[in-house]
């Protein structure tokens, strides 16, 4: 049946109300943003959607979601993948020269100011441009060498070459393919999706929305910080020269530029929580365009699990994927400290372990070293509701988050939380500044990578029944008042109506 | 090719003349072993049996040898090229466990299509007696195996045994055919020659399997190489066919001989060309040696700098060095081989007297010497290009060589006896000029070629086609 539907969709790709632009997510990769997208499409039944899905060019992707019936088209765009294009063309040199300065700006300056120029070149020569001219021609090679000489004349050439190659190919692959027609374009992040949104704004003159879950620029900054490629061990030696330094900066500059472009193009910049706004404004977002629409949860579903199971030992839980960004190790260390003061405490780590197996291995080794095998359990990917009646405290040690739904889900069931001061966590726990009436705190916010603070906070909550009850109650009321799914969906319904009519 | 450099350098680094001479001998065996073997044994056999064998029998033997030599070389060349590529990739990946399997698979592949052809040819198209046909097919089989086994030696360090195997094999082949010639005629000679060949083949197998004592298993992806590198396979046919096409065409010239078997040859042309080809062997060995040692070092140094993330300025310097090395090698070869070839052309009459060859062949011989000179230059250009994996240019040059030799020889054949040999000479000279132009162009923009044109540094972008995407839905 899906096959039949698919066919129908492909035949009629141009009459969608909304074009969603997703990067590395829906419908091929599972995760928070993909689930959010899937729900959005399902909820806005009266609108038709077409999807542009940007994917890395490595694997043949498979659908992870059954596309709802109101999806009328899907276009998969592989980053860096280019059509062959013409080989020789009288204006090779001219074309490459037109691209050179913008690329330079992309690495070191303000690309967003040059975007129109590049865009026009691509728009005018779309039928001839491709791999042959843009990547494999002598002119393109000479341009890379010129850029190298201008930007980093004595730096490591291979690294520079690769960076420029990957970045420029990615831009080309965004600028070349034709866009599906729609009455409104809605990007789910900045970055390459954002660049595509800027293109849509220029070419289609349609209204453009941006919903930013996590901050793309911040996420990439962290990714770059932990990537091996940039940090060769020798970069730590005495000659702390500018080289490795600049390679990192190129990438960051590129992402900041992409963000700026996207903020400029978007008519509405939606984010999940207040805390994101500051960084968005720093990267050029206009405060007048900004609004917060937090994600909601199915309150009724979770509220049923409020009643705790009798007689279980005090239990703390970390709910999340076993990956470095969740800083599981800090959680494990805090359990040791907590156990010294509360010997019968038990800890669950609930979440898939297969995303970064080597990190999972490290965590298991840590558990063994700290002799916690009897107290700390990796439960894998299980249904949260099954364990909710046995969990007393929800702990989140992440180094970065946008708006973690687990705090809301457990909160609806009356489980207070100890979280690090990242993303919207402070807002979820302590309430937004403009919360009226103030509902009180729903847990304790602690600093990053600080096992002792986590253990202290957990100890206080687990041993002080009054505090626990107060936190439990206020978190639950906050979720009920502000973070219900219906509120989120209504907000988007209104937004779409504002631009598309009824 | 890359593999043999180290051992050769070790041999030469003994710093005495003997060491260097030995390295030369090995290099010449590696580069032209089967060729030297055939020409020398043919010469010796011919010289000693001239008086004792009926002329017809000697011609029969010679004809079969030439047919087998040329056709086995050309027909085995696609498998040869592909297998060479596969083996060098395996060595690069440090996975030599597959080599016994590769050897068996490549031999099986080559024989699968070429042996039936040889069988059909000798049993139905020629009027050979049964025993002689069997010997002829056997000889074809042995030569084909020999070509392909040779390639595994570029990866093996045991050069002494290779040289020894060839030396003993030639000795056995020559003696056996001489002794069997009188009682059994052509089939005896062929049988004797086959015994020598078989000795070499088994010795080579022994050395290869001793070097790689692993169990047979089907080498992974081996057969997909035929699809991925079909340009190499085609280039192999063009190159080897290209250096034989003039002989094949001349077999149908007005002065051609029809052997008693009904198989045409052109003794006048063929012998002159064979002997002419021998004149480049000493310098060729020297040159192979030079490429494998001093050029290879410069080449490696470029790639090391690249991988160690050198600055562009440094890469440019190394690029220039590679260019200069190529020019230097080319200049050395031209001077050395040029003077040698000139000497041979001048003293040709004395050589002819010594070998008691017909003066009718003098002109062809002289043109052959010049043609072989350019032919070798083309070969070296191909070797350089294959170092940079420029398969496109390799194929291009091979095709030019084939086509020009075909066309020019055809014309010279039509123009008459006085012009015989000019076809080959002009073809090689033209191909050299074009390929020199290609090489200079290529090395002048070496970094561009390595970073952009070459597969090695192309981005690992593997994108599903629209078809596979549709299937998934």
How far is it, in rounded angstroms, from Cα B303 to Cα B345?
A: 42
Residue A166 has pLDDT above 80, yes or no: yes
Query: How many H helices and E strands in chain A?
Result: 20, 13
* Residue B158, pLDDT score: 66
Lowest mean pLDDT among A26-40, A213-227, A322-336, B419-433: A213-227
Q: What's the first-to-final CA gap in chain B, in angstroms?
A: 47
Residue B131: which H helix or E strand, with range? helix B130-151
ipTM of the prediction? 0.71
How far apart are the C-alpha atoms of A408 and A410, rounded to whole Å? 6
- Residue A419 pairs with which residues in a beta bridge? A396, A445
Report d(CA A493, CA B316) in Å as an integer. Answer: 60
Do the chains contact at B463 and A166, CB–CB below 8 Å?
no
How many residues make up chain A in this entry?
502
If pLDDT is split at 50, 70 and 90, which confidence band does A228 have?
low
**Cα–Cα distance measured from residue B417 to residue B87, given in angstroms and rounded to the nearest whole number:** 45
Give the residue with greater pLDDT, B451 vs A445: A445
- Residue to mutate among B303, B306, B312, with most A CBs inside 10 A, is B312
Interchain contact B471–A (C-beta under 8 A): no
Nearest CA among A471, A491, A57 for reference residue A296? A491
- Closest residue in B to A80 (Cα) is B461
Chains A–B, number of C-beta pairs less than 8 Å apart: 63
Contact B463 A57 (CB under 8 A): yes
Residue B259 has pLDDT above 80, yes or no: no
State whether residue A58 sits within 8 Å of chain B by CB: yes
Q: Residue B239 to residues A72, B151, B402: CA-CA distances in angstroms?
A: 56, 17, 6
d(CA A251, CA A165): 12
- Do residues A15 and A48 make contact, with C-beta atoms less than 8 angstroms apart? yes
pLDDT tens digit sequence for A239-265: 334 444 567 788 888 889 999 999 999
Pick B280 or A475 by higher pLDDT.
Answer: A475
Those residues whose C-beta lies under 8 Å from the C-beta of residue B271, and which sit 6 or more positions away, are B357, B361
Residues of A in contact with B453 (CB under 8 A): 136
Q: Do B307 and A158 touch (CB under 8 A)?
A: yes
Chain B: nearest CA to A61, how far in angstroms? Answer: 8
Burial B52-85 (b: 16+ CB within 10 A, else e): ebeeebbbbbbbbbbbbbbbbbbbbbbbbbbbbb
- Strand-by-strand arrangement of the A71-78 sheet: A71-78, A49-55, A16-23, A182-187, A208-212, A268-271, A290-292
Q: Cα dist. B16→B13, B160, B163 in Å? A: 8, 18, 20
Contacts of B313 in chain A (CB under 8 A): 153-154
**Neighbour-count burial of A208, counting CB atoms closer than 10 A to its CB (0-12 exposed, 13-18 middle, 19+ buried):** buried
A148 to chain B, any CB pair closer than 8 A? The answer is yes
Phi, psi of B264 (to 5 degrees): -80, 145
Determine the straight-line distance between the first and last CA of chain A, rounded to whole angstroms. Answer: 30
| Gap between the Cα atoms of B48 and B26, Å rounded | 27
**Residue range B357-416, pLDDT digits in tens:** 788 889 999 999 999 999 989 988 888 887 777 888 989 999 999 999 999 999 999 998
Q: Which two tokens stand for residue A320?
A: 């999340």
**Contact status of A63 with chain B (Cβ, < 8 Å):** yes
User: CA-CA distance, A25 to A296, in Å (whole number)?
Assistant: 20
CA-based nearest residue to B452, from B395, B382, B390, B387: B390
Placement of tokens 């440094």 in the chain: B314
Average pLDDT of A75-89?
85
> Tell me, what's the pLDDT at A394?
96
The helix/strand/coil state of A53 is strand
More reliable by pLDDT, B38 or B328: B328
Over the stretch A379-433, which tens digit does the pLDDT of each residue have?
A: 998 888 889 999 999 999 998 888 899 999 999 999 999 999 988 999 999 998 8
Is residue B252 predicted with pLDDT exceeding 60? yes
The mean pLDDT value for B112-118 works out to 90
Binding-face residues of B in 269-308 toward A, CB within 8 A: 306-307
B315 touches chain A (CB under 8 A): yes
Instruction: Say which residues have a Cβ less than 8 Å from residue A17's Cβ, sequence separation at least 6.
Output: A47, A48, A49, A182, A183, A184, A496, A500
- The whole-angstrom distance between B86's CA and the closest CA on chain A is 25
Beta bridge partners of A443: A417
What's the pTM?
0.75
Question: Is pLDDT larger for residue B353 or for residue A22?
Answer: A22
- In contact, B274 and B39? CB cutoff 8 Å: yes
Q: Is A292 helix (H, G, I), strand (E, B) or coil?
A: strand
Backbone angles phi, psi at A319, to 5 degrees: -110, 115
Give the CA diameter of chain B: 80
Rounded Cα gap, residues B337 and B370, in angstroms: 10
């Amino acid at each position: 049946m899906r096959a039949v539907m698919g066919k129908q969709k492909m035949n009629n790709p141009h009459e969608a109300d909304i074009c969603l632009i997703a990067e590395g997510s829906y419908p091929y990769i599972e995760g928070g943003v993909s689930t959010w997208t899937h729900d959005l499409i399902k909820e806005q039944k009266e609108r038709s959607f077409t999807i542009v899905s940007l994917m890395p060019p490595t694997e043949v992707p498979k659908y992870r979601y059954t596309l709802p019936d109101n999806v009328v088209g899907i276009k998969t765009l592989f980053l860096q993948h280019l059509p062959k294009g013409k080989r020789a063309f009288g204006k090779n040199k001219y074309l490459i020269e037109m691209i050179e300065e913008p690329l330079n700006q992309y690495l070191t300056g303000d690309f967003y100011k040059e975007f129109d120029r590049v865009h026009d070149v691509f728009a005018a020569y779309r039928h001839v441009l491709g791999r042959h001219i843009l990547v494999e021609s002598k002119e393109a090679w000479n341009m890379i060498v010129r850029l190298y000489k201008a930007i980093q004349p004595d730096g490591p050439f291979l690294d520079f070459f690769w960076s420029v190659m990957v970045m420029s190919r990615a831009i080309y692959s965004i600028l070349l393919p034709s866009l599906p027609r729609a009455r409104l374009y809605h990007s789910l992040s900045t970055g390459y999706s954002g660049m595509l949104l800027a293109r849509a704004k220029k070419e289609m003159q349609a209204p453009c929305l941006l919903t930013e879950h996590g901050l793309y620029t911040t996420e990439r900054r962290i990714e770059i910080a932990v990537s091996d490629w940039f940090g060769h061990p020798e970069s730590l030696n005495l000659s702390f020269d500018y080289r490795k330094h600049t390679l990192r900066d190129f990438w960051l500059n590129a992402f900041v530029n992409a963000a700026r472009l996207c903020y400029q193009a978007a008519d509405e910049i939606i984010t999940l929580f207040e805390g994101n706004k500051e960084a968005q404004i720093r990267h050029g977002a206009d405060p007048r365009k900004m609004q917060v629409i937090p994600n909601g949860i199915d309150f009724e579903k979770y509220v049923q699990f409020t009643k705790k199971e009798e007689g279980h030992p005090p239990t703390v839980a970390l709910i999340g994927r076993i990956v470095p960004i969740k800083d599981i190790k800090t959680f494990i260390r805090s359990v040791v400290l907590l156990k010294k003061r509360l010997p019968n405490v038990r800890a669950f780590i609930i979440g898939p372990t297969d995303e970064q197996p080597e990190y999972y291995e490290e965590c298991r080794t840590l558990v063994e070293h700290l002799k916690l095998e009897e107290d700390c359990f990796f439960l894998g990917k299980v249904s949260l509701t099954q364990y909710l009646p046995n969990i007393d405290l929800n702990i989140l040690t992440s180094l970065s988050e946008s708006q973690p739904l687990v705090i809301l889900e457990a909160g609806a069931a009356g489980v207070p939380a100890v979280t690090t001061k990242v993303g919207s966590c402070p807002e979820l726990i302590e309430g937004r500044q403009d919360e009226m009436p103030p509902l009180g705190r729903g847990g304790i916010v602690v600093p990053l990578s600080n096992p002792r603070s986590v253990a202290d906070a957990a100890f206080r909550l687990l041993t002080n029944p009054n505090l626990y009850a107060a936190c439990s109650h206020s978190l639950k009321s906050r979720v009920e008042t502000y973070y219900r799914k219906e509120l989120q969906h209504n907000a988007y319904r209104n937004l779409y109506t504002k631009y598309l009519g009824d | 090719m890359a593999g043999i450099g180290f051992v050769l350098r070790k041999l030469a680094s003994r710093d005495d003349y003997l060491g260097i001479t030995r390295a030369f001998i090995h290099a010449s065996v590696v580069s032209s072993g089967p060729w030297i073997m055939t020409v020398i044994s043919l010469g010796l056999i011919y010289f000693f049996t001239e008086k004792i064998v009926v002329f017809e029998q000697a011609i029969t033997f010679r004809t079969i040898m030439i047919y087998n030599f040329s056709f086995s070389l050309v027909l085995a060349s696609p498998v040869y090229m592909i297998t060479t590529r596969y083996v060098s990739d395996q060595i690069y990946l440090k996975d030599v466990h597959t080599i016994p399997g590769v050897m068996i698979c490549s031999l099986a592949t080559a024989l699968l299509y070429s042996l039936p052809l040889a069988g059909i040819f000798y049993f139905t198209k020629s009027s050979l007696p049964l025993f002689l046909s069997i010997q002829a097919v056997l000889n074809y089989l042995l030569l084909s195996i020999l070509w392909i086994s040779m390639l595994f030696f570029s990866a093996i360090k045991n050069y002494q045994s290779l040289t020894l195997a060839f030396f003993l094999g030639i000795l056995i082949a020559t003696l056996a055919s001489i002794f069997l010639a009188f009682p059994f005629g052509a089939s005896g000679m062929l049988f004797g020659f086959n015994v020598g060949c078989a000795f070499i083949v088994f010795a080579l197998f022994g050395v290869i399997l001793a070097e790689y004592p692993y169990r047979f298993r089907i080498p992974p992806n081996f057969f997909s190489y035929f699809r991925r590198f079909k340009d190499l396979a085609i280039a192999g046919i063009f190159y080897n066919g290209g250096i034989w096409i003039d002989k094949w065409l001349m077999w149908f010239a007005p002065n051609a001989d029809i052997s008693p078997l009904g198989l045409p040859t052109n003794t006048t042309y063929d012998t002159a060309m064979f002997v002419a080809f021998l004149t480049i062997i000493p310098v060729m060995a020297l040159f192979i040696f030079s490429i494998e040692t001093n050029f290879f070092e410069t080449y490696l140094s470029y790639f090391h700098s690249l991988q160690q993330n050198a600055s562009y300025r440094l890469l440019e310097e190394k690029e220039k060095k590679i260019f200069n090395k190529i020019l230097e090698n080319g200049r050395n070869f031209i001077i050395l081989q040029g003077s040698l070839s000139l000497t041979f052309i001048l003293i040709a009459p004395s050589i002819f007297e010594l070998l008691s060859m017909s003066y009718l062949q003098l002109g062809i011989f002289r043109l052959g010497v010049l043609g072989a000179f350019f032919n070798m230059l083309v070969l070296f250009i191909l070797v350089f290009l294959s170092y940079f994996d420029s398969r496109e240019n390799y194929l291009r040059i091979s095709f030019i060589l084939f086509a020009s030799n075909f066309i020019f020889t055809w014309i010279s054949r039509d123009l008459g006896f006085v012009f015989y040999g000019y076809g080959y000479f002009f073809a090689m000279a033209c191909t050299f000029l074009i390929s020199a132009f290609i090489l200079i162009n290529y090395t002048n923009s070496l970094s561009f070629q390595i970073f952009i044109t070459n597969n090695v540094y192309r981005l690992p972008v593997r994108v599903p086609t629209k078809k596979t995407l549709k299937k998934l839905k």
